[in-house]
A and B are shown apart, each in its own frame.
Chain A
Amino acid sequence: GAVVSQHPSWVICKSGTSVKIECRSLDFQATTMFWYRQFPKQSLMLMATSNEGSKATYEQGVEKDKFLINHASLTLSTLTVTSAHPEDSSFYICSASSFVGLGNQPQHFGDGTRLSIL
């Protein structure tokens, strides 16, 4: 149980392109979804938290107009990297929880999206 699917797993595109990443909870309703960014050999850095039906809460330093998050249903959240540039190249990972916030529940992660901007 508690499967999170993330798509695409890998994308290469030209600078200036907008890229959409999908995160789906397959067998549970995800009240809360989290989006992380991870650089090589570094920890997961939380970008934003989204609750279904409301605006995402962004971490300090994360541009909300650059990283658009939509959580329109209890099973789907999307992250759109708008006008991507090489410095946006990274590994993006989503996670989902069936609770508002976390309580003391584990997070269920997708397998990540490797984004490379040329």
Chain B
Amino acid sequence: SQKIEQNSEALNIQEGKTATLTCNYTNYSPAYLQWYRQDPGRGPVFLLLIRENEKEKRKERLKVTFDTTLKQSLFHITASQPADSATYLCALPRNNDMRFGAGTRLTVKP
């Protein structure tokens, strides 16, 4: 069966450090992968999309990598800030919809 696993339920880091979140998948051959941010009590907000032929994508302090051989995507936040504290979800396409991982709750401490 298809699975999407995000490395840990929670990640705590110090302000200014780089946060690295992992998304692993099995039994998928996605043409692309997306990352979303979700704050408590809110809907997810789209952050980045990376295609299978792209190794890396950047947007401001965010960087995403996509390794189709390892079936893994890494999501990095550099120079992290307390405002980056949220749950981050990876999502893969399935037919005409997206499937989401359970998310990693990131806490950036001042």
Contact = CB atoms under 8 A, between A and B. Distances in A.
Contacts of A64: none
Q: Size class of A's contact patch?
A: 20 to 34
B102 to A, nearest CB: 4
Interface string B24-58: 00000001101000000111111001010000000
B97 interface: yes
Max chain A Cβ within 10 angstroms of own Cβ: one of B51, B96, B103, B105? B96
Given A108-B46, A110-B43, A44 B89 contact: yes
A43 B42 contact: no
A46 interface: yes
A78 interface: no
B47 to A, nearest CB: 9
Interface residues of B, number: 25
Max chain A Cβ within 10 angstroms of own Cβ: one of B93, B95, B97, B105? B97
Contact of A109 (B4, B43, B101, B105): B43
A106 B100 contact: no
A105 B98 CA distance: 10
B14 to A, nearest CB: 24
> Which 10 residue pairs across A and B have the least CB separation, nearest first?
A101-B96, A109-B43, A106-B46, A43-B102, A44-B100, A43-B100, A111-B43, A104-B32, A93-B43, A109-B44
